[in-house]
């Protein structure tokens, strides 16, 4: 009788947990996912679970194949709570069929002055942009432009500290 009572209490709670974890939905702000492949759907689902506190909104999805004949999906995601997110709230993302996680790049402007202790953080931040460029999700030369801007700020810091 005690086992039956315990099952009556546990089963409904287990069901609600399962529903909670599988109910993650994506919001498309344009019609770019009309004929999405299972790979694209899985990528969007992965991004939705990666940012569980936000309700991601996607747009500008595009799919192409890389030199290895693997599918690559590119697009933009916003983590804004607004129904109509601001243009600057969108982050570029990309994923390849042979990659584990989608790459998400937040385009943040490099500050005009930068402490040398923060340099590694900004270099690592640019690595995501480099990966998106390799995937074909951002224009070629984007990473070089980012690196040039970062080097300019670091050189300026070096000049100012040696004076």
Average pLDDT over residues 68-77: 94
User: pLDDT per residue over 80-133, tens digit each?
Assistant: 988 889 999 999 999 999 888 999 999 888 888 887 788 889 899 899 999 999
8 falls in which pLDDT band (50, 70, 90)?
very low
Put residue 66 in one of left, alpha, beta given phi > 0 → left and psi -120 to 50 → alpha: beta
The rounded distance, in Å, linking the Cα atoms of 24 and 18 is 11
Provide the pLDDT for residue 160.
63
Question: What average pLDDT does the structure give for the chain?
Answer: 80
Provide the pLDDT for residue 64.
94
User: pLDDT per residue over 122-142, tens digit each?
Assistant: 899 899 999 999 999 999 999
Provide the pLDDT for residue 33.
67
pTM: 0.73
39-48 long-range contacts, Cβ below 8 Å, gap at least 24?
A: 39/71, 39/73, 39/97, 40/71, 40/73, 43/73, 43/95, 43/102, 46/95, 46/101, 46/102, 47/77, 47/93, 47/102, 47/104, 48/24
Average pLDDT over residues 58-82: 92
Which residues fall within 8 angstroms of residue 14, CB to CB, at 6 or more apart?
none
16 falls in which pLDDT band (50, 70, 90)?
very low
Provide the pLDDT for residue 9.
44
């Amino acid at each position: 009788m005690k086992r039956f009572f315990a099952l009556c209490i546990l089963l409904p709670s287990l069901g609600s947990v399962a529903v909670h974890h599988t109910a993650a939905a994506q919001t498309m702000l344009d019609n770019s996912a009309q004929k999405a492949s299972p790979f694209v759907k899985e990528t969007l689902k992965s991004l939705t679970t990666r940012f569980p506190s936000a309700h991601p909104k996607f747009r500008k999805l595009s799919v192409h194949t890389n030199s290895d004949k693997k599918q690559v999906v590119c697009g933009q995601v916003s983590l804004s709570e607004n129904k109509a997110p601001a243009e600057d709230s969108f982050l570029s993302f990309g994923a390849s069929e042979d990659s584990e996680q989608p790459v998400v790049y937040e385009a943040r402007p490099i500050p005009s002055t930068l402490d040398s202790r923060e340099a590694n953080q900004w270099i690592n931040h640019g690595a995501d942009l480099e990966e998106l460029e390799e995937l074909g999700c951002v224009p070629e030369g984007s990473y070089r432009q980012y690196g040039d801007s970062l080097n300019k700020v670091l050189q300026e810091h070096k000049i100012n500290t040696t004076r």
